[in-house]
Structure 1
Amino acid sequence: MNFCDECGSMMKADDEKWVCGSCGYEELRDSATEQAMTTTQGQEGTTVVDMSDVDAAEVGPTVEQKCPDCDEVRTVRYEMKQIRSADESETRFFTCTECGKKWREDDH
């Protein structure tokens, strides 16, 4: 990925040059620089991970939290993911280890 020196927009590769779609600025491509770039090419597929033999206690961190279905404080597994824009806080996903109920919490 390359960014335009004139306007800062992302440029697209067009044969031997980079072309800015916003302002039309062009610059020659440099293969040595492009070798150092990280790409998503070849990363399209997903792999399913078999977790059936893993003990539930080994799957992620746990915390004591009130389960909405059990209506009691239970041990729950949690994970945090950034699902909104980068300036928003992460969303916490919980799974009750007793009943399997899943829910999420967002900061408002």
Structure 2
Amino acid sequence: MDAFNNCPGFCPSCGSILPELQVKGNVTCHNCKEEFQADVYSGEKSEFTIHFNTYDAKKLLNRTKQESESEADGPVVERKCPKCNHDKMSYATLQLRSADEGQTVFFTCLKCKFKESENS
């Protein structure tokens, strides 16, 4: 009896993850070297698409000052820009240091696009 028979994408004999299903033919387990028909995936083959933000230089150059100020790279906070003294900046956070230390906050001025960071 195959212990892993009900797990699509896994070898029914040894339980290892099976390699990606090719368009035609059978699939061979890298671990136990057994060959299986494509139905071992039980229709579970899925495709992933990653969509990245697009960058349109013409649109960036042709936008008005008001449009430029209203477009933020993230949430907006009341924080004075050290370069132009504008009172609103957007921010983003990342955990760059070890987990027991605070996160790093990156601020971007909505007016002049000056960037600064702060370790919290």
Structure 2 length as normaliser, TM-score? 0.45
The structure with the larger Rg is: 2
Higher strand share: 1
